[in-house]
Amino acid sequence: MSSHRKYPSHSRQVRSAPDSSMPPPTLSQFEHVSRYWDNEHQCFAARLLPGEYYVTTAQEMIATVLGSCVSACIRDTRIGVGGMNHFMLPLDASQGTSAWGEAASAATRYGNVAMERLINDILKLGGRRENLEIKLAGGGRVLAAMSTDVGARNIDFVRQYVRDEGFKVTGEDLGDIFPRKVVYFPDTGKIRVKRFSAATDRSLEDRERKYLSELDSKPIGGDVELF
């Protein structure tokens, strides 16, 4: 993927957010997502943690750091509204895969909802399926000590999903052994992916292991209510 910059940072002069300047209004469902002023790109940004997603109608950046997790960056090209998710699939060990096969395994059902939440929010803001542009990143082999290549599983899922849904992927930086920092501008569709060296970030690996064990400790299934 190209390394575009929407907001060029002017030489070495580091500016902070203007005092009067506030982040653009956020949609109510994303108030928990942390936002900050990004000096490098001179704009406000939302910082996504594993399991979160964020959609915006404003000119702002979404940033995240991926190890074996994947992010889909999705926007409606006509209205310039879009967002990003950040997820990985649960391991199926404790979820009884065999009863349902791959088609409706806990992993597939979880991944599906991670994609659908993001897509639905874009559609609710006026987006249309046929105008969606998708870029994919992540899935590095970062959790090296694990017997399963968690990153590869996440990549297989997300590729299968976009194929099944008939979406067009216009850019991807997937796999290999690197963690990545991804920044995305939904209003223009620009994306920057910076790979960093495999062993630099212990905390990233710890965070992903924690997320994975949380996923595996609870059943994948929402509430049922009969009226």
Partner 1 sequence: MARMIMTVDDSTSMRQMVKATLQSAGYGVVEAADGQEALDYARENAVDLVITDVNMPHMDGITLVSELRALPTYRLTPLLLLTTESSMEKKMEGKKAGATGWIVKPFNPTQLLATLARVL
CA-to-CA distance for 71 and 69, rounded, in angstroms? 7
Longest CA span, the chain: 62
Q: Which two tokens stand for residue 62?
A: 């979404």
Residue placing its CB nearer to partner 1 in the complex, 112 or 170: 112
- Residue 180 and residue 140 in contact, taking contact as beta carbons nearer than 8 Å: yes
Which of 87, 118, 70 shows the shortest CA–CA distance to 220?
87
Which of 200, 189, 198 shows the shortest CA–CA distance to 2?
189
Question: What's CA 208's distance to the chain center, in Å?
Answer: 13
Q: Examine residue 169 and tell whether it contacts partner 1 (CB under 8 A).
A: no
Site string for partner 1, 39-78 (x = CB under 8 A): ----------------------------------------
Instruction: Tell which positions 108-147 bind partner 1, by CB under 8 A.
Output: 108-110, 112-113, 116-117, 119-120, 123-124, 128-129
Identity of the residue numbered 13: Q
Q: Examine residue 199 and tell whether it contacts partner 1 (CB under 8 A).
A: no
Which of 185, 182, 209, 183 shows the shortest CA–CA distance to 195?
182
Minimum distance of partner 1 from residue 47's CB (angstroms): 23
Q: Which two tokens stand for residue 38?
A: 């990004």
Residues in binding contact with partner 1, number by CB under 8 A: 33
Minimum distance of partner 1 from residue 209's CB (angstroms): 22
Residue placing its CB nearer to partner 1 in the complex, 102 or 176: 102
Q: Judged by CB under 8 A, which of 100, 146, 170, 188 binds partner 1?
A: 100
- Contact residues toward partner 1 (CB under 8 A) are 99-101, 103-104, 106, 108-110, 112-113, 116-117, 119-120, 123-124, 128-129, 160-161, 164-166, 219-227
